Amino acid sequence: MRFTMILLSLALAAILLLLQPAISLPAPADSTLTSAARNPDVTIVTDEADAALAILDRIRAGKEVRDKDWRTLRGSEGYRRLRKREEAMGRRFSDSTFVAFLHADSTRALTEDLRRTVRAWKKADVAAAGRRALAYLPSGARIRARVYLTIKPWTNSFVFETNTDPAIFLYVDPEVSAAKLENTVAHELHHIGYASACAAEADTTLSPQVATARMWMSAFGEGLAMLAAAGGPDVHPHAVSDSVERARWDRSMDRFGDDLHSLETFFLDVLEGRASDPDTVRTRAMEFFGVQGPWYTVGYRMAVLVERTEGRDALLAVLCDPTKLLEAYNRAARRGSAGATPPLWSDRLLRLLAGTPATTTPR
């Protein structure tokens, strides 16, 4: 449950990326990767966690924590960037909070578990995670990020400074395996790469309704990131998760048709003016996140069907234009269905997204 909340925290942070203008799993075979995908620039930084563990060791041994120990912690890159992030969010950040946190009995009791986790996470293959992400991004995508492992009073994880010096902060959680860490990092790196490849000047020819609908459709990037983090359509997106998370995902996938219909209703309400207040639209759109709700599952199912039916290149060709993704999904659904055709996006919706008045009746 704790890691589920970490994923949710990261997802809510990553949506800021998606809405800008516009077991360790194997990486895909080299033949599927561009030169950029073979060389993602991803580094794990553990200096804050290492300094915190050194302080915990002295506390557990009954030794006084020296000034130089606190200076090492406060001077670490992870700590300094954490302070910068908290202050950027308008939150109070004090050294005394860390002093109290590290002296707390509950923290001291976790020292060995935290040490074991940091040791395991240091070995995580974040370069492979970057390659998985880039294999599902256009050739122009670039991934550069620093992944900070942090032992801190707050149990949240997040992305920071994605446009200037991309960072992923991960709260050290002993319940999370290195394989799960790699999957999460790959997911977040896909968001960073998506932003680098798909950011574009706003199209001023679009009506406000079309611009708003298209903006929120970029949240389907959550489903694309699920596919990328898994490594391909034949790997379960929760292959490294526990049975509870995997079962929840499978139940959500069973609701695909209903979720697609709910999303279409939302899009049509925006496009046809029934939902125009920005706060109302945002509230409704955010409901589709959930823990891993329709933005994830519908986006994932569409991407998988397009790749399986038309190939990965066809998927990458529509990646930066969610409306084209919907059209590609409809084509793939019609072509690749041996039995009943899966639920489709309506012609009415596609016409409205293209800026063409809809002339058909809704499904």
pLDDT above 90 covers a percentage of the chain that reads: 77
User: CA 193: distance to chain centroid?
Assistant: 11
Q: With 50 as the cut, is the pLDDT of residue 31 above it?
A: no
**What integer best gives the mean pLDDT of the chain?**
88
Greater pLDDT, 101 or 157: 101
User: How does pLDDT run across 180-210, given as a tens digit for each residue?
Assistant: 999 999 999 999 999 888 877 667 788 999 9
In this prediction, residue 20 carries a pLDDT of: 47
User: Over 80: is that where the pLDDT of 168 sits?
Assistant: yes
Q: How far apart are CA 150 and CA 169, in angstroms?
A: 7
CB 150 within 8 A of CB 171: yes
Taking only the tens place, the pLDDT of each residue in 56-93 is 999 999 999 999 999 999 999 999 999 999 999 898 89
Domain boundary assignment for the chain: 2-198, 208-353
How many CA atoms, within 13 angstroms, populate the side-chain half-sphere of residue 213?
27
Query: What is the chain's Cα-based Rg?
Result: 22
Residue 159 · residue 191 · CB < 8 Å: yes
CA distance 185 to 146: 10
Phi, psi of 161 (to 5 degrees): 50, 50
Tokens of 237: 């997106």
